[in-house]
């Protein structure tokens, strides 16, 4: 049943085109088409995941052309996990966009295109194909960011477009270097041919540097994160929920895929400098992202800088290249998607209920919007790494991996990152529950005070449940990921 | 050195295009000029890709009754066709956003837009 792989990519893209066509006749059809498209996408993703975790890796040759000439689609444990997150988050966030005035047919066409592009990034086994899907993802993301109909979001979208395109172009240039060195673009084939070309050859080193730099821009690691805070902050709340959960996640997946399936662990053994540079750059991102997050006054910008820091952690884990760190990186990659998506969803609900969008305005909101602020607090603490939430498990394995590798500075940075994450969330949580306002004054502002659950709030609450369930199920997930890790580490 | 320039001029052209594109992106304040810079930057990469397919004395890769090798590699051309399509779509989205920015702020210059936003 390897036909599921192309279906999972084609279906959202076809649905996107259908949304444009049907939307010309019936303006309000976009949401329903997106709902059907993403619902089927969830079924496909579950189908792929059960096959991968049951019978192992699946491959599909597009149009029957065998690799290395043809394009190959591959699903292993890592891609199945990320694909499932993409499908489920894509489906759930639709509940957030429901009934919005500004979200028309074109919005849902872009939404579906984004989901299709992300599915493509996770499933492709061909380097050039990955570039195309990264650009499809990017294109949809730029348009979605600008969909807020404000000048600010258009500017942020354009900035994101220019910087994102430079990133993708560097990636493409790196792919070109690898192609010149080996004459192939298929990932499996490349891993053998790159070894034959010699890991220390200048072409191979340059291709690695260009590809990793390009992806770092797409992930938004410090110091090439500059597009990201404004893009997240100025996008509509539904879009920042979707994009913060998925787009950088897919780029971080791409970096893991390229490290392990293209350059392989042996490349790092042969060129330890490349590994060190990547690990330390990622660690710098952890520190700088946290410090910048503490300095923000706007909540959405704070959450955005928090992503810079958390993705530093994920990339550091992948670059450490041992099994424990890899497991931690994968868990944190998936867990962060749910936690950060949930945080943006909660922040959006709080903004609708109370109008609060800055850290100072969050003072004493706990009484006004108890469930939304509670969700925000729990998800924040989950991201800090309080057990039993998934944030704890991911960081725990990454720290263990760093200790096992003997890189004490990184181990220290990871442990410190927990404290730093607490630094910017504690600031908000403290204001929400123990704010400076006189009590009673705010109670009068609260409308009736009875807590109600809207679909948007339900999404944030679902994220809390998911975060705890994922934290408890992490050992089970680790056992599922075992065959994939053995394959990637060449055991 | 002269020899290098004469035999590797296509690389020099590609690097020049990359550098010019990047310079326009960083130094020029006009948003439309930035998008043109982005296009020039991408064209540098396209040129690099296409020249890698070159085989000295190679024939066009068209099979037929009189086809005789060696052929130039067609694969980079196919890849770059796709990349050009991506580039055109990006330009379209970028220009759409610029139209909206102009309608909102009444200028295409980055520094003036920043002033307008600061005054708001």
Residue A12 lies in a domain: no
According to DSSP, the residues that pair with A298 across neighbouring strands are A358
Asked if A227 and A160 count as a contact pair (C-beta separation under 8 A), the reply is yes
Rounded to whole angstroms, the maximal C-alpha distance in chain B is 71
Q: CB-side exposure of A232: number of CA atoms within 13 Å?
A: 33
What average pLDDT does range B77-82 have in this prediction? Answer: 90
CA distances from A235 to A151, A231, A381, A385 (A): 11, 6, 25, 27
Match 């959202």 to its residue by tokens.
Answer: A12
Which of B90, B104, B59 has its CA nearest to residue A154? Answer: B104
Question: How far apart are alpha carbons A106 and A114 in whole angstroms?
Answer: 12
User: What percentage of chain A carries pLDDT values higher than 90?
Assistant: 45
pLDDT at B110: 86
At residue A441 the predicted structure's pLDDT band, cuts being 50, 70 and 90, is very low
At residue A447 the predicted structure's pLDDT band, cuts being 50, 70 and 90, is very low
Which of A128, A250, A246 has its CA nearest to residue A186? Answer: A128
CB atoms within 10 A of CB A41: 26
State yes or no: pLDDT of A304 exceeds 90.
Answer: yes
Question: How far apart are alpha carbons B58 and B65 in whole angstroms?
Answer: 17
pLDDT at A143: 92
Question: How far apart are alpha carbons A190 and A267 in whole angstroms?
Answer: 12
pLDDT at A445: 43
pLDDT at A433: 85
Residue A281 lies in a domain: yes
Match 């990133």 to its residue by tokens.
Answer: A167
CB atoms within 10 A of CB A290: 27
* Interval A156-190: pLDDT, tens: 999 999 999 999 999 999 999 999 898 889 998 89
Kindly tell me the number of DSSP H helices and DSSP E strands found in chain B.
Answer: 5, 0
Judge residue A439's burial from the number of C-beta atoms within 10 Å of its C-beta, 0-12 exposed, 13-18 middle, 19 or more buried: exposed
CB distance B38–A142 less than 8 Å?
A: no
Which of A111, A129, A134 has its CA nearest to residue A30? Answer: A111
User: What does residue A331 show for φ and ψ, rounded to 5 degrees?
Assistant: -65, -40
pLDDT at A329: 93
pLDDT at A210: 95
* Coil vs helix vs strand at B74: coil
Asked if A268 and A209 count as a contact pair (C-beta separation under 8 A), the reply is no
State yes or no: pLDDT of A478 exceeds 50.
Answer: yes
Which of A13, A133, A143 has its CA nearest to residue B90? Answer: A143
Count of A-B CB contacts under 8 Å: 67
Q: Where are the domains of chain B?
A: 2-54+71-119
Domain that holds residue A478: 271-486
pLDDT at A101: 59
Question: How far apart are alpha carbons B77 and B55 in whole angstroms?
Answer: 13
Q: Give me the CATH topology for the region B2-54+71-119.
A: Helix Hairpins (1.10.287)
pLDDT at B23: 94
pLDDT at B99: 93
What average pLDDT does range A383-407 have in this prediction? Answer: 88
CA B51 to chain A, closest CA, distance in angstroms equals 11
State yes or no: pLDDT of B54 exceeds 70.
Answer: yes
Match 């890899």 to its residue by tokens.
Answer: A326
At residue A103 the predicted structure's pLDDT band, cuts being 50, 70 and 90, is low
Average per-residue pLDDT in chain A? 88
pLDDT at A440: 46
pLDDT at A1: 64
At residue A442 the predicted structure's pLDDT band, cuts being 50, 70 and 90, is very low
CB distance A162–B42 less than 8 Å?
A: no
Asked if A172 and A245 count as a contact pair (C-beta separation under 8 A), the reply is no
Which of A89, A116, A113 has its CA nearest to residue A5? Answer: A116
* Disruptive mutation site among A13, A149, A172 for chain B (greatest number of B CBs within 10 Å): A172
pLDDT at A102: 61
Instruction: Give A355-359's long-range contacts (Cβ < 8 A, gap of 24+).
Output: A356/A299, A357/A298, A357/A299, A357/A300, A358/A297, A358/A298, A358/A299, A359/A296, A359/A297, A359/A298, A359/A299, A359/A302, A359/A427, A359/A428, A359/A431
Helix pair angle (A237-257, A105-123), 10° resolution: 20
Cis amide prior to B70 (ω within 30 degrees): yes
Q: CB-side exposure of A35: number of CA atoms within 13 Å?
A: 9
> Which residue of chain A comes nearest to B105, CA vs CA?
A151
Residues of A in contact with B98 (CB under 8 A): 158
Question: How far apart are alpha carbons A143 and A114 in whole angstroms?
Answer: 10
> In whole angstroms, what separates CA A115 from the centre of its chain?
12
* Coil vs helix vs strand at A166: helix
Question: How far apart are alpha carbons A226 and B118 in whole angstroms?
Answer: 19
> Which residue of chain B comes nearest to A177, CA vs CA?
B49
Residues of A contacting chain B (CB within 8 angstroms): 128, 131-132, 135, 139, 142-143, 146, 150-152, 154-155, 157-158, 161-162, 165-166, 169, 172-173, 176, 179-180, 185
Cis amide prior to A105 (ω within 30 degrees): no
pLDDT at A84: 94
Instruction: Give B70-78's long-range contacts (Cβ < 8 A, gap of 24+).
Output: B76/A179, B76/B49, B76/B50, B76/B52, B77/B50, B77/B53
Task: Look at chain A and report how many structural domains it folds into.
Answer: 1
Question: How far apart are alpha carbons A299 and A397 in whole angstroms?
Answer: 29
* Disruptive mutation site among B100, B114, B117 for chain A (greatest number of A CBs within 10 Å): B100
pLDDT at A436: 62
pLDDT at A444: 41
State yes or no: pLDDT of B49 exceeds 50.
Answer: yes
According to DSSP, the residues that pair with A126 across neighbouring strands are A186
Asked if A264 and A274 count as a contact pair (C-beta separation under 8 A), the reply is no
pTM (2 d.p.): 0.92
At residue A453 the predicted structure's pLDDT band, cuts being 50, 70 and 90, is low
State yes or no: pLDDT of B37 exceeds 90.
Answer: yes
CB atoms within 10 A of CB A13: 18
CA B47 to chain A, closest CA, distance in angstroms equals 11
Residue A162 lies in a domain: no
* Interval A11-28: pLDDT, tens: 999 999 998 888 888 877
Residues of A in contact with B41 (CB under 8 A): 166, 169
């Amino acid at each position: 049943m390897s036909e599921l792989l192309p279906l999972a990519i084609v279906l959202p893209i076809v649905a996107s085109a259908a949304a444009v066509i049907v939307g010309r006749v019936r303006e309000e059809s976009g949401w329903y088409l997106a709902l059907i498209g993403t619902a089927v996408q969830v079924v496909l993703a579950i189908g792929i995941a059960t096959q991968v975790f049951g019978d192992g890796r699946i491959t599909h040759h597009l149009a029957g052309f065998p690799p290395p000439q043809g394009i190959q689609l591959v699903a292993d444990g890592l891609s199945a996990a990320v694909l499932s997150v993409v499908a489920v988050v894509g489906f759930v966030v639709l509940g957030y966009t429901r009934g919005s005035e500004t979200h028309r047919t074109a919005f849902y066409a872009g939404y579906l295109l984004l989901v299709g592009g992300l599915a493509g990034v996770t499933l492709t086994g061909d380097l050039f194909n990955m570039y195309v899907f990264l650009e499809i993802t990017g294109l949809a993301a730029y348009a979605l960011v600008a969909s807020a109909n404000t000048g600010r979001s258009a500017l942020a979208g354009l900035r994101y477009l220019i910087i994102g395109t430079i990133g993708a172009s560097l990636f493409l240039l790196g792919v070109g270097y690898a192609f010149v060195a080996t004459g192939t673009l298929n990932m499996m084939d490349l891993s053998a041919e790159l070894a034959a070309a010699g890991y220390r050859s200048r072409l191979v080193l340059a291709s690695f540097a260009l590809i990793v730099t390009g992806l770092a821009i797409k992930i938004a690691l410090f110091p090439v994160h500059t597009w990201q805070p404004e893009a997240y902050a100025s996008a509509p709340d539904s879009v920042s929920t979707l994009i913060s959960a998925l787009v950088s996640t897919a780029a971080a997946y791409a970096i893991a895929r390229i490290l392990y399936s293209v350059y392989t662990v042996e490349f790092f053994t042969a060129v330890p400098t490349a590994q060190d540079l990547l690990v330390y750059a990622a660690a710098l991102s952890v520190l700088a992202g946290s410090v910048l997050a503490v300095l923000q006054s706007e909540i959405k910008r704070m959450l955005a800088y928090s992503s810079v820091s958390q993705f530093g952690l994920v990339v550091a884990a992948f670059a450490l290249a041992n099994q424990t760190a890899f497991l931690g990186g994968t868990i944190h990659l998936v867990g962060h998607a749910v936690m950060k998506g949930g945080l943006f969803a909660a922040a959006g609900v709080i903004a609708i209920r109370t109008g609060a969008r800055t850290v100072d305005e969050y003072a004493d909101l706990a009484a006004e919007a108890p469930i939304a602020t509670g969700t925000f607090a729990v998800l924040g603490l989950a991201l800090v790494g309080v057990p039993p939430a998934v944030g704890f498990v991911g960081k725990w394995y990454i720290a263990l991996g760093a200790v096992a590798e003997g890189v004490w500075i990184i181990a220290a940075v990871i442990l410190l990152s927990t404290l730093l994450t607490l630094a910017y969330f504690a600031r908000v949580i403290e204001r929400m529950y123990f704010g400076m306002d006189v009590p009673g004054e705010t109670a009068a502002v609260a409308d009736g005070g009875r807590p109600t659950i809207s679909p948007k709030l339900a999404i944030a609450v679902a994220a809390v449940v998911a975060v705890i369930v994922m934290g408890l199920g992490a050992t089970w997930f680790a056992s599922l990921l075992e065959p994939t890790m053995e394959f990637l580490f060449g055991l | 050195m002269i020899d290098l320039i004469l035999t590797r001029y296509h690389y020099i052209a590609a690097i020049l295009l990359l550098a010019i594109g990047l310079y326009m992106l960083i130094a020029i304040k006009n948003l439309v000029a930035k998008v043109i810079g982005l296009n020039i930057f991408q064209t540098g990469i396209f040129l690099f890709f296409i020249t890698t397919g070159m085989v000295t004395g190679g024939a066009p890769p068209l099979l037929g009754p009189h086809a005789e090798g060696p052929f130039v590699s067609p694969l980079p051309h196919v890849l770059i066709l796709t990349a050009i399509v991506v580039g055109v779509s990006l330009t379209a989205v970028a220009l759409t956003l610029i139209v909206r920015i102009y309608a909102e702020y009444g200028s295409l210059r980055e520094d003036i837009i920043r002033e307008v936003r600061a005054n708001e």
